[in-house]
Chain A
Amino acid sequence: DVKVTQSSRYLVKRTGEKVFLECVQDMDHENMFWYRQDPGLGLRLIYFSYDVKMKEKGDIPEGYSVSREKKERFSLILESASTNQTSMYLCASSFLEYNEQFFGPGTRLTVL
């Protein structure tokens, strides 16, 4: 079974803190994605990566950065957390860019 894991299910941080969200997949997938999901706004792509050290901006990259040093690991970094980044963060991976994506359980981040 494909397994995508995320470092935390729930996280509470303060405004201005640097936040790291980690995602690990065990299927040797080339592509990894970070989305956020908010009520009424659906799923929005923040960043994706199609190879180690490669990244592309999605629709809402502002306030975020990513790191992919190893194929199985894709990290999302909130440089200085703000309250409008309170959201559910979802990591996904796929073998090819347009194949089915497999999601992690999500991290519900609250920024106070």
Chain B
Amino acid sequence: DAKTTQPPSMDCAEGRAANLPCNHSTISGNEYVYWYRQIHSQGPQYIIHGLKNNETNEMASLIITEDRKSSTLILPHATLRDTAVYYCIVRGSSGNTGKLIFGQGTTLQVKP
């Protein structure tokens, strides 16, 4: 699976959009971009994933650049409960026994 790079931390004002970037310049054609988050002392939570088109669900939007070398997770109206570590992962459909490998992630602090 391709390596990802994320900023270690970000702040966001409550009610504003949180835009979390991720670089994955070595992504290959059949690899998906996944986002998870982990609120302190809880299990990780799946947020969204995509291959090349932008995706939106009830939690977030995922914008993937045309060359697929980077992506942005957008939380449209951040709340205090969105404070968490956000992990961007690139995964293919073979190898690594399906296990998830989290990098350092981005710690998002949503402030009142």
Contact = CB atoms under 8 A, between A and B. Distances in A.
Contacts, number: 56
B98 A33 contact: yes
A99 B103 CA distance: 19
A45 B99 contact: yes
A94 B43 contact: no
Contacts of A100: 34, 46, 49
Interface in B90-105: 91-94, 97-103
A59 B98 contact: no
Q: DSSP majority for the B interface? A: loop
B79 to A, nearest CB: 19
Given A103-B43, A106-B41, A98 B92 contact: yes
Contacts of B101: 42-43
B9 interface: no
